[in-house]
Structure 1
């Protein structure tokens, strides 16, 4: 028998980001359909309860007004979007955010929804994150907030903040794991056709959807081996010999447990490691390419374009400017 529903409220407003709302609601819906012991009862609410246009132009109809919400809540989530500035100046909205946070087990924001939490005073003295392009502005406007532009999401006490847009999916999968265990979170991720949720401390400017180590022993051993030997030959025959299987069998294992080929996996891990070196060191591109197993800076550049849709030099400029702004 399912337990009492977990009441979840998503706060919307004009020009909110639709994905900020949908990433939260759809993850919780997937958890419900997969048999969550205490299903989530999700409600979208606004100050006036009227339909509002998201920044994409699509219109959403909320379930009701914020002042109609009473009683114990499980989670309150504030969406982001280009309308966050007006929302942060709406005193009625801020008062509701403060009130609902007191009724809730946890309070969260997606993307620039962090500015609403900050304006409501809920981030004072806390570490928080937001979309990387907005981090320096949030830090300047709210100096009492310790803004970290790097992680996908941050938990400080009972307040959670997440980075841009789809990081709301990662945050909500983490909620499901906390509430119902890792197995249900994994099934929800598979239902949504995404890899297992990315850990909160993974860098925002990353498109490699990594997750917990795979359960299959040989695949798990190889992922650890790859991470420790990036500068060496990591061709499929070499990896197959490492665990005593054929190249064909190794390809089948990677497809079954990681959803990719050994070659693509290695190239992605190398690009991820290069991203960390670009943002955390002054090493020249030639040295980074060598350490990560790329044959040349041009090979590194092509891998970066494929995985991040930006060249390594531009990644370094953007990341360092955001970090030190």
Structure 2
């Protein structure tokens, strides 16, 4: 039986927050007949504008449309700043209460918190707005790191494209790994970054600082982490001394060069465990560890659980 999904948008919504998850869900219909029926909901019938001024027409307003299995609340600057009357809140609350899943994409979490202000949930949103959401949603546990979080019937995702990751996870729950993988392949994306992964990568994090001198090395390490790489190799790569290299890493990355390389390898190993059919010994070799024992010890030191435990709970 088809699942009905309502996407709630208002003026100033982020287009990717809508079209990313919408495309993922609708692509399922290519593999499973009438798996999802998606509708756009507005505060009123007619046109709704994106954050950049483009206009589209919703299928109906929050008072007219039928019951939905899933309610998806899109984000964007307009959604984050949206003011709702008591009548509008009550209408949205009726839709949400009748849905088996309520999903917020990015700053749609601000609307979610207005619909259910008295409830207590673990949620996430774009890292830039987590502190503001925590101040406004005092009953919520706002977490900055995850790509998405499931808290009972409430699902929330971080910035823009993580909404696709969340959609793929729901598709996986509804229709299995094969269909989710097929959808990801059609969309030409990396399948199922799981919710526990960080909102932004190690490389992006350091590029946000003043470590430009390290960037060529960091980019090279991200592409060659599986090779045998020593600290002298790294120093030679950017033509500085080992001592200077270590000083730069400690200043900008709060780690030694070797620790940083291990972090890249372990984060990649975590992705392989969750997304590919490899045994743990193969994962260890794939990411550049000489033995499984050294991999196991490093994995436990970084994540606080063994690779086997992580695999059982996330694989």
**TM-score over 0.5 for the pair:** yes
**1:16 touches 1:81 (CA, 8 Å); kept in 2?**
yes
Whether the aligned pair in 2 keeps the contact of 1:44 and 1:62 (CA below 8 Å) is: yes
Q: What's the CA shift for 1:145?
A: 0.7
1:115 is aligned, of 107, 110, 113, to 110
Give the alignment partner of residue 31 of structure 1, picking from 28, 31, 47.
28
Q: Match for 1:288 among 256, 260, 271?
A: 256
Matched, 1:46 2:42: yes
Find the aligned partners of 1:122 and 1:143 in 2 and give their Cα distance. Answer: 8
Deviations 1:213-235 (A, max 9, x none): xxxxxxxxxxxxxxxxx697169
Q: Compared with structure 1, are the counterparts of its residues 84 and 286 closer, same or farther at alpha carbon in structure 2 (3 Å cutoff)?
A: closer
Alignment of 1:283-322 (within 5 A): 285=253, 287-293=255-261
Q: Structure 1 residue aligned with 2:131, among 124, 136, 146?
A: 136
Shift in alpha-carbon separation, 1:234–1:5, aligned structure 2, 3 A: farther
Q: Where in structure 1 are there 5+ consecutive unaligned residues?
A: 209-229, 236-277, 295-325
Structure 1 residue 150: Cα displacement = 0.6
Find out whether 1:127 has 2:122 as its counterpart: yes
Tell me how far 1:193 sits from its aligned partner. 0.7
- Residues 97 and 117 of structure 1 are in contact (CA less than 8 Å); yes or no, is this contact kept in structure 2? no
Q: CA deviation at 1:148?
A: 0.3
Displacement of 1:143 after TM fit?
1.3
In 2: Cα distance, 1:60 partner to 1:205 partner: 31
Q: Distance in 2 between matches of 1:74 and 1:123?
A: 22
Deviation at residue 286 of structure 1 after TM alignment: 7.1
Distance 1:92 1:119 in 2: 13
Q: Which residue of 1 aligns with 2:17?
A: 20
1:284 deviates by 6.8
What is the CA–CA distance in structure 2 between the aligned matches of 1:107 and 1:283, rounded to whole Å? Answer: 43
Q: Report how many residues are paired.
A: 226
State the alpha-carbon separation in 2 of the partners of residues 112 and 137 from structure 1. Answer: 10
TM-score by length of 1: 0.64
User: SS where residue 193 of structure 1 aligns?
Assistant: coil
Q: Which residue of 2 aligns with 1:156?
A: 151
Q: Could you list the runs of 5+ residues in structure 2 that have no partner in the other structure?
A: 204-224, 231-248, 263-315
Partner of 2:175: 180
Contact 2:117 2:137 in 1 (8 A): no
Report the CA distance shift for 1:283/1:157 in structure 2 as closer, same or farther (over 3 A): farther
1:21–1:231 distance in 2 versus 1, CA, 3 Å: closer
Corresponding residue SS for 2:103: strand
Q: TM-score, normalised by structure 2?
A: 0.66
> Does the Cα contact within 8 Å between 1:88 and 1:115 map onto a contact in 2?
no
TM-superposed deviation, 1:97: 2.1
- In structure 2, do the counterparts of structure 1 residues 57 and 233 end up closer, same or farther at CA, with 3 Å as the change threshold? same
Structure 2 distance, partners of 1:80, 1:284, is 32
RMSD in angstroms over aligned alpha carbons?
Answer: 2.8
Distance 2:93 2:81 in 1: 17
1:169–1:88 Cα change, 3 Å? farther
Of 57, 64, 68, which aligns to 1:61? 57
CA distance in 2, matches of 1:169, 1:90: 30
